[in-house]
């Protein structure tokens, strides 16, 4: 008897990777994490198509357990290239240079710990961890023996140095005034106007 395995769709594959990452992440990292750790065919073009479709076919009357959407800057405009889940609270959907660094380090901790509980790591997983280790102070040295736990500990120590970034009250107030579409896909940025001479 031949049995077929049904892989999750691209939306669900992106969701799996984002749940593991736990925070907004660059689209490339979402794809790389899914490719190394999960079954499926998630690619950059497929993820970009999902993001486009989520906004293009948005229907406020259609209930959805989650949507794949862009992360937002503190002015609630779209953070291009950063992907997040709609169900996360505003503080978890915002990115800034500081929070992006903290998000990356926290994601490395989560990924390394996820890999550590597996029986063995494939070459794709080792390559992913090696690339991630290069972004952590002391990471390459910690990962010399391919020990994901050592990498997790090193990233956790670096994360403690970065610290948390609270959401300003003004951002939360503005967020409360947005409609659902704006919360999902951001507000339009206003063009900068030159002063008159």
Structural domain spans, the chain:
9-94, 97-164
Read off the pTM: 0.87
pLDDT recorded at residue 61: 85
Query: What are 94's strand-pairing partners?
Result: 72
Angle at 179 between CA 175 and CA 184, to 5 degrees: 75
Report the alpha-carbon distance of residue 20 to residue 119 in Å, rounded: 18
Report the alpha-carbon distance of residue 128 to residue 33 in Å, rounded: 7
Query: What are 59's strand-pairing partners?
Result: none
Report the alpha-carbon distance of residue 2 to residue 98 in Å, rounded: 51
- 166: confidence class by pLDDT, cuts 50, 70, 90: confident
Supply 15's token pair: 């969701």
Report the alpha-carbon distance of residue 147 to residue 129 in Å, rounded: 10
Mean pLDDT of 118-139: 90
Please, are residues 100 and 123 in contact by the beta-carbon 8 Å criterion? no
Please, are residues 11 and 57 in contact by the beta-carbon 8 Å criterion? no
For 16-69, how does the pLDDT look when each residue is reduced to its tens digit (9 = 90+)?
A: 999 999 999 999 999 999 999 998 889 999 999 999 999 999 988 888 889 999
Mean pLDDT of 69-93: 94
| DSSP 8-state assignment for residue 187 | P
pLDDT recorded at residue 197: 44
pLDDT recorded at residue 154: 95
Does residue 90 carry a pLDDT above 80? yes
């Amino acid at each position: 008897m031949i049995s077929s395995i049904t892989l999750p769709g691209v939306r669900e594959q992106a969701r799996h990777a984002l749940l593991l990452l736990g925070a907004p992440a660059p689209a490339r990292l979402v794809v790389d994490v899914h490719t190394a750790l999960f079954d499926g065919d998630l690619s950059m073009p497929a993820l970009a198509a999902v993001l486009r479709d989520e906004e293009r076919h948005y229907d406020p009357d259609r209930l959805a357990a989650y949507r794949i959407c862009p992360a937002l800057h503190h002015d609630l405009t779209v953070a291009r290239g950063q992907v997040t889940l709609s169900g996360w609270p505003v503080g978890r959907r915002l990115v800034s240079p500081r929070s992006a660094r903290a998000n990356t380090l926290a994601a490395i901790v989560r990924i390394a710990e996820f890999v550590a509980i597996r029986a063995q790591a494939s070459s794709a997983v080792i390559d992913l961890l090696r690339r991630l280790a290069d972004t952590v102070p002391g990471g390459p040295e910690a990962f010399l023996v391919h020990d994901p736990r050592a990498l997790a500990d090193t990233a956790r120590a670096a994360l403690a140095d970065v610290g948390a970034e609270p959401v300003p009250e003004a951002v939360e107030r503005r967020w409360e005034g947005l409609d659902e579409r704006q919360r999902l896909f951001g507000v339009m940025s206003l063009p900068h106007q030159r002063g008159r001479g």
